Amino acid sequence: MPPSEAAAGSRASGGDLDGHRLGVVGLGRLGTKVARVGAAFGMDVVAWSQNLDAERADGLGVRSVSKDELFSTADVVTIHYKLSDRSRGLVGAAELKAMKPGSILVNTSRAGLIDTDALITVLEAGGIRGAGLDVHDEEPLPVDHRLRSTPRTVLTPHLGYVTEDTYRIFFTQAVEDIAAWISGEPIRVLG
């Protein structure tokens, strides 16, 4: 659906994944899993990261591309990158403006990777089809935050880890840590 129709509030239809391009920013543990899902749906999967090994990408059935090519050609861009001083603001105005009008941006990694103001500007202008964000600059997201009224967004409250299996691991390890500390033999010691 063209952005103008979405802005006008018309009824939207879903899009197909088969034959469309998935751009994965960060092909680590989670990025690799998402790339496999995209491939399972018949997507052309490309990836970029600052240190991506093209041979590793090929071995996963993914094509390594430049950052510019990923943002300008992907129908869906999904971010799976570690936040650091070097990666903060990795997705800024230039990357967002390069995206196709019908494309979607998904970030379940870290909010600081994206320039939120630039994203809001692009979404308000109808520059991309939409954004799905599970991470925010402020968490919980304040009631009056601009993202809450930004068009074409799906916002979730950083719930990627909120699963029964993850909680089972967290709680089991917490009990193990306490028992080990009490016995004078701490485990999983940081630093």
User: Catalytic residues, which ones?
Assistant: 110, 139, 158
CB-based contacts of 139: which residues, under 8 Å, 6+ apart? Answer: 111, 157, 158
Can you tell me whether residue 21 is helix, strand or coil?
strand
The CB-side HSE value for 144 (13 A sphere, CA atoms) comes to 0
Which conformational region is residue 136 in: left (phi greater than 0), alpha (psi within -120 to 50 degrees), or beta?
beta
List the Cα angle 83/38/100 in 5-degree steps: 70
Place of tokens 């500390």: 181
Token duo for residue 69: 């090519």
Largest CA distance in the chain: 64
Q: Are 161 and 139 in contact (CB under 8 A)?
A: no
Token duo for residue 126: 């109808």
Can you tell me whether residue 175 is helix, strand or coil?
helix
